[in-house]
Chain A
Amino acid sequence: MLVTEQERLKEDLQALAQRHGRGRGALLPILQDVQTRHGQVSGYAMQVIADLLDIHPVEVFSVVSFYAFLNAAPQGRFVVRLCRTITCDMAGKDRVARQLENDLKIKFGETTPDGRFTLEWANCLGMCDQGPALLVNDQVLTKVTPEQVHEILEACRKSFSPHALAAKEEHHS
């Protein structure tokens, strides 16, 4: 990481500590915000947070590693989580899963090389009457069919700026 990027991250973390406080109870809200804003809680971020809250970095790591929605490794801009629990399974989540893997060209637990998508399993999303259910970042989608997968991913892709997309395509060609 560049020194300037580190500085920027540090400033951001200081602002978060300012907002949530420096008590131990602030740890989870801070980590959740870091995850949302930076797509990961990096080792460096954990060290800075530990300093701010005056706890050992291992304490921070132990919390990050416990919760499914916190990640030390970088996650894609869109985290796609497919519910694998029983009623979504009964409603046909296997085919949705296969199509997600086909269209994203990655397996569950992986991130696309361009850093746009991470594909993960989720346990019960609380949409059991409307499965198969999918969580795309904070947005929940229900009764997902394999043929809708493409549309859903395209809708995500559209949110990247045309400039960014063009640059990416140039890079690939």
Chain B
Amino acid sequence: MIPSHKGTLTFSSIEPNAGLKAALSKGRADLIGEISASGLRGRGGAGFPTGVKWNLAAAAKDAEKYVICNADEGEPGTFKDRVILADFPDLVFEGMTIGGYAIGAKRGWLYLRGEYAYLRAPLEEVLARRRKEKLLGRKAGGKEGFEFDIEIRMGSGAYVCGEETALIESLEGHRGEPRNRPPFPVDTGFQGHPTIVQNVETICWVPCILVKGGGWFKKSGTEKSPGLKLFSVSGDCARPGVYEFPLGITVAKLLTAVGGEGAKAVQVGGASGRCVPAGEFSRALAFEDVSTGGSIIVLGPQRDMLRVARNFLEFFVEESCGQCTPCREGCVKLLEGAELLEQGRCSMSYLTELCRLGETMQLAAKCGLGQSAPNAFLSIVEHFRDELMGRAPRNGNGQHG
């Protein structure tokens, strides 16, 4: 119910650095206990429990540990992190500092996507101010024996670097090619040291939880998906923008709030997400039902679903890192298939074969990008088959993109 205004999100009601103060007054185990009790799960889309992640990193025996905030927000339809970084930068750095204290790290990075380069200067200013206020550096936040500082590193236009191991590769100065997982970064992260990689939104909920309590957080949302969540809403609706809703909200309810009633489908989770047709608008946006990092693209009745599918496939052909065959070749084959459909030249048996290829990619691709690349195509084929088959070829009106 809350449109994107600075004053209306929970983040704006939190007193600056109150979360950090609360964190530093606790022992590490208590602090992580509080986060675990809240049930907070990763807001980037994967939904891994933050408390578990922090516990694993805290328990790892290593003199060097790291905190990374993943601000490589590249998922089509997602822009909540941009809004957070512009409006609540202190909360991001505060959350990272708390993470550093919790796991025993001295260094943190904010990995900012190259497309958001214009946010860098204001963020650097905030960091400089926090250093001056002794919230960073030696005795950070006035805590004896706690040292932590944050550096901003830029991405250079590679969507795959949003995948945590690719991001680490990029930080280390390599191509952003995902690693095999396991081992996970909590164990073998930056230069082989334990590292927690957190989404911008996740890290911001941490101070909120410490101020308001894990119980407060758990009160909203569902049992398996506790808490509030930011949604980036775009497409065919009257009021696009960033919204805060409890997880578990139905697609229909969300559509009413944003003025998107009458939609034919909603793409949830961006290019790597799923297409939810109107018949399934009663489904819940939660990790246990339709899982999402918050990207909601409303598709009105006039939209050509094949064009949507094709756009996503073009995206993946471009963004696949090329490391593993299922993704590198699979994306190209699916895009060719979408083009055949567009020209009205795809047989049903070939379409079935393409779907099988998509399922193979879901199983066999190395990382999350490749595993989720066919999702949009498959769900559009599943729900909108009647729109796809036997089309008349397009007349010469050239198409861009």
Contact = CB atoms under 8 A, between A and B. Distances in A.
Interface string A55-71: 00000001100111110
A62 B124 CA distance: 29
Given A93-B400, A140-B118, A85 B79 contact: no
Given A85-B311, A127-B79, A69 B156 contact: yes
Interface in B1-53: 4
A48 to B, nearest CB: 16
A126 interface: yes
A60 to B, nearest CB: 10
Contact of B79 (A26, A121, A126): A126
Contact of B175 (A23, A63, A97, A123): A63
Interface in A11-27: 23-27
A140 B177 CA distance: 28
Nearest to A108: B400
A32 B311 contact: no
Contact of A129 (B74, B79, B177, B303): B79
A52 interface: no
Interface residues of B, number: 56
Interface stretch (A1-9, A109-117, A131-139, A148-156): A131-139
Contacts of B236: 90
B117 interface: yes
B233 interface: yes
Contacts of A90: 235-236, 303
Given A63-B173, A63-B175, A85-B311, A128 B401 contact: no
Contact of B158 (A66, A131, A135): A66
- Which of A29, A69, A84, A128 has the most chain B CB atoms inside 10 A of its CB? A128
Interface in B232-262: 232-236, 240-242
A122 interface: yes
Contact of A122 (B116, B157, B172, B270): B157
A165 interface: no
Contacts of A121: 401
Interface in B145-166: 153-159
Interface string B163-198: 000000011111111000000000000000000000
A104 interface: no
A42 interface: no
Interface stretch (B312-320, B329-337, B357-365): B312-320
A125 interface: yes
Contact of A123 (B78, B156, B174, B319): B319
A87 interface: yes
A142 to B, nearest CB: 11
B96 to A, nearest CB: 19
B118 A139 contact: yes
A94 B399 contact: yes
A27 B173 contact: yes
B114 A69 contact: yes
Nearest to A139: B118
Contacts of B175: 62-63, 66
B156 A87 contact: no
A94 B171 CA distance: 35
Interface of B: 4, 73-79, 81-82, 113-118, 153-159, 170-177, 232-236, 240-242, 267, 270-271, 297, 303, 307-308, 311-312, 314-315, 318-319, 321, 399-401
Given A28-B173, A123-B315, 8 more contacts: A25-B173, A66-B158, A66-B175, A66-B176, A86-B297, A87-B76, A98-B400, A135-B115
Of all A-B residue pairs in the complex, the 9 with the closest CB atoms, nearest first, are: A68-B157, A27-B173, A67-B156, A128-B234, A129-B240, A69-B157, A66-B175, A69-B156, A24-B173
22 contacts: A27-B173, A32-B156, A63-B173, A66-B321, A68-B114, A68-B157, A68-B158, A69-B114, A70-B156, A85-B271, A86-B271, A86-B311, A86-B312, A87-B76, A89-B401, A122-B157, A124-B77, A128-B77, A128-B79, A128-B235, A129-B234, A129-B240
